[in-house]
Chains A and B, each alone.
Chain A
Amino acid sequence: MVRYELGELIDDRPADGIFRVSRAIFDDPAIFDLEMERIFEGGWVFLGIADQARAPHDFFTSWIGRVPILVSRDGEGMLGGFVNSCPHKGSRVAQTMSGNARVHVCPYHSWSFDSAGRNKAIKLKKAGCYAEAFDGQSHDLARLPAFEEYRGFLFGSVSADVPPLAEYLGEAAKLLDLVADQSEEGVELVPGGVTFTYDGNWKLQLENCSDAYHFTSAHPSYIRLLDQRQKSNSQSAVKSVWEKTDYWKEDAEGDVQGGSFSFDHGHVLNWGRFGITDALPLYESAERLAERHGEAKRDWMFNMRNLTIFPNLQIAENASSQLRVIRPISADRTEMRTWCIAPKGESGDARRLRIRQYEDFFNPSGMATPDDTVSYENCQRGFASRVEPWLQGYSRGMSASRTGGNAFSSVIGLAPARSVLADAQLGDETLFHSYYRAWAQRMVGALGA
């Protein structure tokens, strides 16, 4: 049983300039169970991209909270989302991460289903001496109560009680457009996925993606290496976009180097100015994208952008481009499924540059991500304490946060709920408020007020 009142977990008093989060929400297994029920199994969750099931009868498997999911494209080309569990005795039906199957045969007693989830056969049905009532039940795979696509991004819910996807994404959908519109053909996942785990709460990953404050303190080894590589000018060194831009450097010139946007339902973006640089694989398309989408939107495609669609999708476009899916395992354990997401049809050179930058920066075997995940584990250890339960990491930017957008959002017609304009040193933390306000809304019925 959760014995907390909401106010003991999230201390949100804008008028007093206070926003605090209790260590308990990262650490308490009872709260984790509630999060699964209320957030992951009670609303929209990202499943994958349409291109993962490109052709008729292609499928891939995913998760909504603890529930295994099958996404399948039927013979007519329609995508469907199903619980990947046999109506007979519950066995997982599809066994692999992806594949192509006109018919899915359950490995346990061979009930079979077509690519639209319809039951095709029940083994030895006639000889089975079923009661008449059996035929009155559907033997199809359970369809997700909600399943929708936005520009190739697929979301599902095991609860029917959700707003339409467009309403849930709201203005943040325009930030998915900045990804989807990088090629007229859409986006794809580069073959080869990387999965890693860390012994810490899922919200550590949620926050870190949007945490501008940590870059220079958690990644100095990476930053120094970039410096050394730039000076050595060696042909064999892996190139990185970070070398070509200085928005993140604490002594960067100029007032506005980036900032954050927050949206309803817990979606957030933090961003920085990159400019149109040939260190980005998108450079080859710079002119075409400006012609097609206008310069303002093109320039935004070249900005550093870390986008979170609450609760489990993150798209990081900085050094290369990563799509991450957060899968919480327990209060103190999380699995990350990660891919390099890329515009279809880019040149071989651009793709190679994208992949090399990706491996060096994003992989758990690279030179940046491990310094994040080890820090998550350090935090998780510290969360055990209730001596002083409140965390203070939600305070930077408090006096800079504004209702609505700013000049940078309006040029692309984006209307966030709140925004912060930042110089290179601000390291806004108010965008996390959006996560925890959405969190509080979803959890409130289960906690005392």
Chain B
Amino acid sequence: MSAIDREGAEELLYREALALDSGAWDDWLALYTEDATFWVPAWRDEENVTQDPDSELSLIYYQGRRNLEDRVWRARSGLSVASKPRPRVVHAITNVLLLTANDAQARTSSSFAVHLYDKRSERTHVFFGRYEHALRNEAGDWRIAAKKIVLLNDVIPTVLDFYSI
């Protein structure tokens, strides 16, 4: 086993992006560890996001991949008018930095812009912000153990789902 390098980390981030863009949500889930944290903090004020998910509000906060599985189930269920027809999205990820890395884990920061086109509402939107990924080596496979998404334009036009950020 060896530490992940920046290229390897980028590869993982881009694979996550492609899975979300193409609606390959099982592939997307498979990139996460079972105990993964998925966190989109809300904003306290104009300049600061919330820091403590237990005492402050988040847009999304889940501990455990099974909660992401629930989101995927709902999006596919045919029982949610907001989820179908599925908007078209493309994740553009840049400025990837490897912050720390050893054999067992790594942390990255990156920037994202998700271009979204919702045919039904005739709405085009760009959600943008920063990602922080915590990666973990699970028996030779690098997986996402935590993802924090700082969404900079947080006035949500009607819907934001896991694939829009």
Q: Which A residues fall within an 8 A CB radius of B? A: 96-98, 190-199, 218, 220-222, 224-225, 228-229, 232, 234, 236-238, 335, 339-340, 348, 351-352, 355-356, 358-359, 363-367, 370-371, 373-375, 377-378
Contacts and interface: CB of A to CB of B under 8 A. Distances in A.
Given A96-B45, A355-B54, A364-B158, A194 B77 contact: no
Interface in B48-66: 49-50, 53-64, 66
A221 B72 CA distance: 11
B59 to A, nearest CB: 4
A192 B57 contact: yes
A348 B66 CA distance: 24
Interface of B: 35, 40-46, 49-50, 53-64, 66-67, 70-71, 73-74, 77, 79-83, 121, 123, 154-161
B63 A367 contact: no
B50 A221 contact: no
A197 B158 contact: yes
Q: Is chain B's interface secondary structure helix, strand, loop, or mixed overall?
A: mixed
A191 B74 contact: no
Q: Indicate the member of B45, B64, B159 with the most A CB atoms within 10 Å.
A: B159
A358 B50 CA distance: 15
B70 A229 contact: yes
A190 B56 contact: yes
A446 B61 CA distance: 48
Contact of B40 (A220, A340, A365, A373): A365
B55 A194 contact: no
A195 B55 CA distance: 19
Contacts of B83: 221, 370
Q: Indicate the member of A96, A97, A221, A225 with the most B CB atoms within 10 Å.
A: A221
B160 A364 contact: yes
Contact of B67 (A97, A238, A373): A238
B85 to A, nearest CB: 11
29 contacts: A191-B56, A191-B57, A192-B49, A192-B56, A193-B42, A195-B155, A197-B156, A197-B158, A199-B123, A218-B81, A221-B74, A222-B74, A229-B70, A236-B63, A236-B64, A237-B64, A340-B57, A352-B55, A355-B56, A355-B57, A359-B61, A364-B159, A364-B160, A365-B59, A365-B160, A370-B82, A370-B159, A371-B80, A374-B81
Given A191-B50, A377-B121, A198 B59 contact: no
A198 B157 CA distance: 6
Contact of B46 (A97, A236, A367): A97
A351 B55 contact: yes
A366 B61 CA distance: 10
A321 to B, nearest CB: 12
Contact of A238 (B56, B62, B81, B121): B62
A372 B135 CA distance: 36
A195 B79 CA distance: 25
A225 B73 contact: yes
A225 B74 contact: yes
Contacts of B59: 194, 359, 363, 365
Given A221-B74, A363-B59, 16 more contacts: A190-B56, A194-B154, A224-B77, A225-B73, A234-B64, A236-B64, A356-B61, A359-B57, A359-B59, A364-B160, A366-B60, A367-B80, A371-B81, A373-B159, A375-B81, A378-B81
A199 B40 contact: no
B5 to A, nearest CB: 32
Nearest to A232: B66
Contact of B158 (A193, A199, A224, A366): A199
Contact of A365 (B44, B74, B161): B161
Nearest to A352: B54
Given A191-B44, A192-B57, A352-B54, A367 B74 contact: yes
Contacts of A228: 70, 73
Nearest to B121: A377
Contacts of B35: 236
Contacts of A358: 57
